[in-house]
C-alpha cells in the first residue's frame, strides 16, 4: 500500500511535523523561511526535504497532489501580544495557504494559530479565512478587497450550484494540558477534509483534567507518593485554585475523576539533575543565570503545568520560561527542559543559542497535541485504506526513534 504523504508549510522547529510523523505520515517537504528553524529541521529530518524559502516563492506544482497539508502560518498578526493588524499585516499568510491547498488539493489539512485569531475584532476576517479554506479554488479578483471576496464566498456557500473542490472545515480552541502536555497552552486548530471523501470527523476528546490532578495530589496522594513528597506547598498558588483544593478536601469524591491527571512540570522534568554551568549531564541542559521574578511573572510552579513557553522578539520574557520551586527559588528552563515541556524527545536537536532555541521551542506546536489530532485524522480518513507506515530507527522520514 502507498504511504500517506504530507507537505508542511511554516514548519518552524517541527513540533507539529513530529506529531504528524508519529501518526505514521511521511513528509514530502518542509517549507520554512527562518534559517535557524531550517537548521533544526535538517538535523532531525532528511535535509533534502527542507526548503528554506518564502512560501510565496515556492513551486508547489513540484509535488503535485499530497494527502495531507499542515503548518502554522505566522501568528504575529493575531497574537495577543502583537500589534493586532490581522489581515493588514504583511505576515498574514492565510492567502498563501489557500493557494497551496488549491494547487495540491490535499485530502485533508491541519493548521494551527494563536488564540487571538478568535478575538472579536478579527471575527469577520476569521470567517473569511474559514470560507477561503472551504472554497480554496475561488480566488480573490483584482477588483476585490477581502470584504467583497467574503461576500461572494458567502453567496457560494448558501447555494447548491458550486461544483469545485470543497472542504468541510472545523476549528477548535484546544488547551494542550487536556491532551497530556505539561503546559497550559491554548491554540486554535483548523482542520479541513475534502468533501468528496464523505468522512465524518471531529476533534479528539480531552484525556486529562485539572480535577484529576488535584485529586491525585490532595485526595489519593498518588502524585505525592510517586514523587516522594510529604506535601505540596500551595501558599502562592492562585486563590481560586486554593479554594478549589479546599472544597475537594472537605468533600472528597467517592471515585477518582474519569480523566487522567494534568501533567506537571515535575512529572516531565523531575528525573533530571539540576543543570550546571558546563552541561555535564547533556549539552542542552546548561544553567542560565539571571532569572528574577516580578509582579505578574512568577514563573511556572513545579507541581502545576507550565505556563505557555514564549518566544519574545527581544529575548525571552522573565516569567513564562522560568521554573519556580516550593521554596520560592526560580531559574530559567534549560533547552532540554523546554523540549520536554513541549513534549519533544530528548534526542531532538534544536539548533542555535539558548535564546534562539527557546524562540523556536516557544513557537512550536506541542508534539503530543499534534499527534492526538493527526492520529485521529489518519484513522478517520485512511484507517481502512492506505496504511500509515510508522517511522522507526533509520527510517527515511525521521532520523530519531520515538520515545
Tens digit of pLDDT at every position of the chain (403 positions): 578 999 999 999 999 999 999 999 999 999 999 999 999 999 999 999 999 998 888 888 887 889 999 998 874 444 434 443 334 434 467 788 888 999 999 999 999 998 988 989 889 889 999 999 999 999 988 898 888 999 999 999 999 889 999 999 999 999 999 999 999 999 999 999 999 999 999 999 999 999 999 999 999 999 999 999 999 999 889 999 999 999 888 876 677 888 999 999 999 999 999 999 999 999 999 999 999 888 878 899 999 999 999 875 444 554 679 999 999 999 999 999 999 999 999 999 999 999 999 999 999 999 999 999 999 999 999 985 554 444 332 333 334 433 3
End-to-end CA distance of the chain: 26
What predicted TM-score, i.e. pTM, was given to this entire model? 0.89
**pLDDT in the model for residue 16:** 98
Q: Write down the pLDDT at residue 200.
A: 95
Domains and CATH numbers, the chain: 5-206+365-382 (3.40.50.150), 208-352 (no CATH)
Confidence at residue 257, expressed as pLDDT on a 0 to 100 scale: 87
pLDDT value, residue 58: 82
How far apart are the C-alpha atoms of 89 and 69, rounded to whole Å? 23
pLDDT in tens, 145-192: 888 999 999 999 999 889 999 999 999 999 999 999 999 999 999 999
pLDDT tens per residue, range 146-156 = 889 999 999 99
At residue 288, the pLDDT reads 93
Given this model, what pLDDT does residue 383 score? 87
Amino acid at each position: 500500500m502507498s504511504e500517506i504523504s504530507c507537505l508542511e508549510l511554516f514548519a518552524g522547529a517541527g513540533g507539529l511535523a513530529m506529531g504528524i510523523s508519529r501518526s505514521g505520515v511521511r513528509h514530502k517537504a518542509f517549507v520554512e523561511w527562518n534559517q535557524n528553524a531550517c537548521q533544526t529541521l535538517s538535523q532531525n529530518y532528511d535535509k533534502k526535504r527542507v526548503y528554506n524559502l518564502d512560501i510565496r516563492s515556492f513551486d508547489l506544482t513540484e509535488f503535485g497532489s499530497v494527502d495531507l497539508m499542515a503548518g502554522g502560518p505566522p501568528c504575529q498578526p493575531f497574537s495577543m501580544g502583537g500589534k493586532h493588524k490581522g489581515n493588514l499585516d504583511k505576515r498574514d499568510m492565510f492567502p498563501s495557504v489557500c493557494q497551496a491547498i488549491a494547487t495540491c488539493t490535499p485530502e485533508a489539512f491541519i493548521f494551527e494559530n494563536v488564540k487571538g485569531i478568535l478575538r472579536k475584532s478579527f471575527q469577520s476576517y476569521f470567517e473569511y479565512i474559514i470560507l477561503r479554506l472551504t472554497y480554496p479554488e475561488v480566488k480573490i479578483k483584482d477588483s476585490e478587497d477581502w470584504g467583497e471576496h467574503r461576500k461572494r464566498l458567502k453567496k457560494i456557500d448558501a447555494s447548491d450550484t458550486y461544483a469545485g473542490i470543497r472542504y468541510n472545515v472545523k476549528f477548535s480552541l484546544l488547551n494542550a494540558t487536556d491532551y497530556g502536555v505539561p503546559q497550559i497552552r491554548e491554540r486554535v486548530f483548523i482542520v479541513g477534509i475534502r468533501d468528496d471523501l464523505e468522512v465524518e470527523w471531529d476533534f479528539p476528546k480531552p484525556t486529562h483534567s485539572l480535577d484529576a490532578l488535584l485529586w491525585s495530589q490532595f485526595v489519593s496522594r498518588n502524585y505525592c507518593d510517586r514523587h516522594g513528597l510529604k506535601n505540596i506547598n500551595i501558599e502562592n498558588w492562585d486563590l481560586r485554585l486554593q479554594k478549589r483544593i479546599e472544597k475537594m478536601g472537605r468533600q472528597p469524591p467517592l471515585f477518582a475523576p474519569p480523566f487522567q491527571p494534568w501533567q506537571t512540570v515535575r512529572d516531565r522534568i523531575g528525573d533530571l539533575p539540576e543543570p550546571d554551568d558546563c552541561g555535564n549531564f547533556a549539552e542542552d541542559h546548561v544553567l542560565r543565570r539571571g532569572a528574577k521574578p516580578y509582579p505578574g511573572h512568577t514563573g511556572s510552579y513545579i507541581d502545576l503545568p507550565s505556563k505557555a513557553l514564549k518566544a519574545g522578539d527581544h529575548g525571552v520574557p522573565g516569567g513564562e520560561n522560568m521554573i519556580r520551586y516550593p521554596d520560592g527559588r526560580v531559574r530559567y528552563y534549560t533547552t532540554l527542559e523546554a523540549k520536554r515541556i513541549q513534549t519533544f524527545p530528548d534526542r531532538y536537536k534544536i539548533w542555535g543559542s539558548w535564546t534562539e532555541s527557546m524562540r523556536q521551542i516557544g513557537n512550536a506546536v506541542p508534539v503530543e497535541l499534534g499527534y492526538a489530532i493527526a492520529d485521529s485524522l489518519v484513522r478517520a480518513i485512511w484507517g481502512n485504506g492506505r496504511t500509515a507506515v510508522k517511522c522507526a530507527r533509520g527510517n527515511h522520514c525521521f532520523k530519531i526513534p520515538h520515545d
